[in-house]
A and B are shown apart, each in its own frame.
Chain A
Amino acid sequence: MLIRCIGAEWLKLRRSRLWLILVSLPAFSMMIGCANFANNLGVLQNEWYSLWTQVSLFYGEFFLPILIAICCAYLCRLEHLNKNWHLLLTAPVPVAYTFIAKLTITAVLLGFVQGMFALLFIGAGVAFGFGYEPPAELAGWIVRGWFAAVAIGAVQLLLSMRMQSFAAPIGIGLCAVFVGFGLYVAKLGLLFPHSLLTLGMGVLDQQALPAAKLGLFYAMTSAYIILVSALAIRRLRTADAAA
């Protein structure tokens, strides 16, 4: 049944051209980051790591959370139109599967975005002549970034399900970016999904996370995903649908 729900959510994305938006952000980040790197070769001499600081800074800090918000708002858009929430909630499908299916699709789409970003990064590094061996930390940055992105996605899905407006959750998402940045600067980065993204992707500090911090990172992101999902499912079960 869950597989069918996920399939149904995937079907809703047919002909949506959402891929255009998903592809645009990594591509832009890479273009501008590479241009800035090329203009400052005298100062940025740590090859792969310097390139990573240029391409991932704006992407991981500000714009990936906004992209996640747009993606989640899009996934809930169909239900907010034409009283489709009523139709969905009266289907003979456990309510929890509805949310889990949307979260799974969010995770798949964000995996695609992260994968594309990694491929573009490797391509850029090869083009700059760094050789064919990207840094060993790249896989960790991408995977941890994806995991934290899914945690942000759970929060944004909850907001988008709750609010009929398409744009409002995106506005809240931007404000949350700064809360996350503030918590990161205050060394409380493990407490908030947006700062977990900064930590996980090594955006501001490429040093490897110590084992204890790594464990805490995964524990916090998992906790956010589970708790927010539980909250969203509870809301779907108990609150009246207003479509």
Chain B
Amino acid sequence: MNALWLELYKLRRKRLALMIALFLAVELAWAYMSLSMSIARNPDNAGWPAALLLVASMNRLFLPILSAVIVSRICDMEHKGQTWKLLMAASVRRSRIYAAKYAAACLLLASAVALQTAGIAAIGLASGFREAVPLMLLIRLAAGTLLTTAAVVALQQWVSLAVKNQAFSLALGMLGSFVGLTAMLFPAPVRLWFIWSYYMDLSPVTYGYASGALSYAHNEFGFQLPLLALAMGAAAYIAGCVHVSRQEI
């Protein structure tokens, strides 16, 4: 816990909260505008599934880059300040320091996801949806988003710590976003291999076709996809931890 608290303490005055707030504000504002335009074109779109799916699809673009930015800031302070030797001289195992950084990044992104979930509820209420706020759907969306983000953070942290130049980890975030946005076009077996596609795959709502028209349907993905996301995240975390722990400083 000490190590985690210290990591969070190091983030003072880094204005990460401001960065998260900016991302969320742009994402939710865009979601609200898109939803309003969609409802104006077709009043049948006024419902919680539309709002949830819209935000899930925007998460494919925003969250990989936000994860890359946050992880880069957490890891780059050690590279820039040349504090690795100082950090390694502390009587703390490298794996604990790695875990503390990972936990700090996940905590920040979890708070972003929680705020986003509250934002979706606010958007629905502001749009005047007739149904009550669907708590279970929101919780499932948040859980799926968090699981995917945790795996993405594991991968980003590995690259950010292994490679001093943060351009490569941010380029990975950018390409991850690209893959996430276009993964719906990949064949299903290929899509499974890209963690960034799970933002949509783990969404509780998906597109469906009813009588030749586009509609919304519940996405029943079972246990396979979440387990796969967990496995990918764990693999990236373990590989990163082992690799970085053995690196020469």
Instruction: Give the interface of A toward B (CB within 8 A).
Output: 16, 18, 20-21, 24-25, 28-29, 32, 35-36, 39, 58, 62-63, 66-67, 70, 73-74, 77, 80-81, 164-168, 170-172, 174-175, 178-179, 182
Are A28 and B26 interface neighbours, CB within 8 A? no
Most buried by B among A20, A21, A166: A166
Cα of A82 to Cα of B167 in the assembled complex, Å: 18
What number of B residues sit within 8 Å (CB to CB) of A? 34
7 A-B pairs closest in CB distance: A167-B72, A167-B69, A21-B171, A166-B166, A171-B69, A175-B26, A32-B182
Of the residues B66, B76, B181, contact of A58 by C-beta under 8 Å: B181
* Shortest Cβ distance from A73 into B: residue: B167
In the assembled complex, the CB of B202 is this many whole angstroms from the nearest CB of chain A, namely 22
Are A70 and B73 interface neighbours, CB within 8 A? no
B88-96, B172-180, B227-235: which lies at the interface: B172-180
Are B68 and A77 interface neighbours, CB within 8 A? no
In the assembled complex, the CB of B122 is this many whole angstroms from the nearest CB of chain A, namely 19
Cα of A29 to Cα of B66 in the assembled complex, Å: 21
Cα of A26 to Cα of B241 in the assembled complex, Å: 32
Q: Please indicate the chain A residues that have their CB under 8 angstroms from the CB of B214 in the complex.
A: none
Q: Please indicate the chain A residues that have their CB under 8 angstroms from the CB of B182 in the complex.
A: 32, 36, 58
Are A21 and B167 interface neighbours, CB within 8 A? yes
Cα of A172 to Cα of B182 in the assembled complex, Å: 23
Q: Please indicate the chain B residues that have their CB under 8 angstroms from the CB of A165 in the complex.
A: 14, 73, 76
Q: A21-B171, A66-B174, A70-B171 are contacts. A167–B76 as well, Cβ < 8 Å?
A: yes
Q: Please indicate the chain A residues that have their CB under 8 angstroms from the CB of B170 in the complex.
A: 70, 73, 166-167, 170
Chain B 4-34 interface 0/1 with A at a Cβ cutoff of 8 Å (1 = within): 0000000000110001001100110010010
Q: Please indicate the chain A residues that have their CB under 8 angstroms from the CB of B73 in the complex.
A: 165, 167-168
Are B62 and A167 interface neighbours, CB within 8 A? no
Cα of A174 to Cα of B61 in the assembled complex, Å: 9
Cα of A74 to Cα of B72 in the assembled complex, Å: 14
Asked if B185 is at the interface of the complex by the 8 Å CB criterion, the answer is: yes
Q: Please indicate the chain B residues that have their CB under 8 angstroms from the CB of A179 in the complex.
A: 26
Are A172 and B76 interface neighbours, CB within 8 A? no
Of the residues A39, A62, A81, A167, contact of B68 by C-beta under 8 Å: A167
